A and B are shown apart, each in its own frame.
Chain A
Amino acid sequence: MNKRKLFNFLIAIILPYYLIGQIQLNRFVLFFPVPTAIDLDRGFIESNNRSSVSEITVNVNNPSNSKYNIFILTDQPYFSPINLNKPHHDLLWKLSSASESLYRPVSLQKSKISTGKGSGSVDIDFRLKLGWNNPPANYRLEVVFILETEEIHIIKKNPKPILDDLKLH
């Protein structure tokens, strides 16, 4: 293999990886405030209960400038400890910019959060359904954010025909 072929081969491997979009969260663990009697009466607690600032920001770094979709899901049917049978759908999410009525349960299947192009970020609010029938414990549920980008087009889709250039001359 000569130098040029080797160079092309390496570029072919490295470049797609370099252009793959990355998803990053501003934190890996989110602690909800300790629920009070008021929260249990109301039936829920929110991640930004004690402040107006969104707790979770999903950042997308997408150098290829292609379209992307962000999804959310969980693979745990129950919060841990699982013997307390607190179902995963007691955790709700919404975009911070959306109204209160748009909270949706976290699902075992992918749910689309946001769509965009290039790089960007979205703020997410979480709400947790609670009740007096939830026994005291340390609860935990893991959710996964997935970034899916469209196919990377290194070569232009509609290259300018060489013949057209010739015609102009």
Chain B
Amino acid sequence: MGHRKLVKIPGLSIVFLFFIYNFTYNQNTQSLSLEFSLLPVQKLFIENTKSFPPINASDYEANNIGINDAVTLSVSSNVPWKVVIFTNQMNLYKSFGKYKPVQKFQWRSGAKSFQSISNKPEVVLQGEAGVKDLKIKLDYRLKLDWKNTPPGMWGFRPEFKIERNYVQFITPKSKMESKTKNPPKKSSEFKKSPK
């Protein structure tokens, strides 16, 4: 009798385990986890450029020659961004023993005033994340004078760079307040993000 019991217990255990195995592994559902890592992505390219026309006497009299929409940039970014302009050159050209410094080359974006290009990157425009093919148009101007602008061929290509902007805009409280109490300040309009 005792011998029979010993045979029955392993037998039932096998059946029980088989039952559990089937119950556990005979699943008719399966899960799939889909994952992807999106990194900061930025894109900047020059869409269009215009050349300066030949300089004549009236341009010298006006002390400058300019072209509107001299360059069109296209910006895409999934993070806050800023586009900067700079040059690594010191001079536009040299002629008759005179250098034409790069500072005589000026640029502006939108309705802003012209400013000289330099070796230090200057912000052309900045914005929030989530822009696609945003167009930025820049006007160029070359300062002229009879004394310091000798004849000569010159070619100049300002450099542009898109960077991640770690500076966030602060929403102004109201227009009335900003006019009376807080006149717009260039530096205090921005605040560094906690990051």
Contacts and interface: CB of A to CB of B under 8 A. Distances in A.
Contact of B36 (A14, A23, A128): A128
A139 to B, nearest CB: 5
Given A17-B22, A145-B29, A34 B76 contact: no
23 contacts: A13-B19, A18-B22, A21-B28, A23-B28, A32-B34, A32-B36, A35-B36, A37-B41, A40-B76, A58-B30, A128-B34, A132-B77, A132-B78, A132-B130, A135-B129, A138-B36, A141-B33, A144-B29, A145-B29, A145-B30, A145-B32, A147-B28, A149-B28
Interface string A54-79: 00101000000000000000000000
B26 interface: yes
A41 interface: yes
A24 B26 CA distance: 10
B84 interface: no
Interface of A: 10, 13-14, 17-18, 20-25, 27-37, 40-41, 45, 47, 56, 58, 91, 126, 128, 130-149
B52 interface: no
Contacts of B90: none
B28 A132 contact: no
A143 B28 contact: no
Contacts of B76: 37, 40-41, 132
Given A128-B36, A139-B37, A149-B28, 12 more contacts: A17-B19, A20-B22, A20-B26, A22-B26, A23-B29, A35-B41, A36-B41, A41-B76, A132-B130, A143-B34, A145-B31, A147-B28
A18 B23 CA distance: 9
Contacts of A135: 38, 78-79, 129-130
B99 interface: no
Given A10-B15, A132-B130, A133-B78, A17 B23 contact: yes
A40 B30 CA distance: 30
Contacts of B41: 35-37, 40, 132, 136
Contact of A31 (B25, B36, B129): B36
Contacts of A128: 34, 36
Given A23-B30, A37-B41, A140 B79 contact: no
A134 B35 CA distance: 14
Contacts of A47: 34
A35 B38 contact: yes
Interface core residue of B39, B77, B131 (most chain A CB under 10 Å): B39
A166 to B, nearest CB: 40
B32 A17 contact: no
Contacts of B22: 14, 17-18, 20
Contacts of A18: 22, 26
A133 to B, nearest CB: 4
B161 interface: no
A103 to B, nearest CB: 14
A14 B77 contact: no
B21 to A, nearest CB: 9
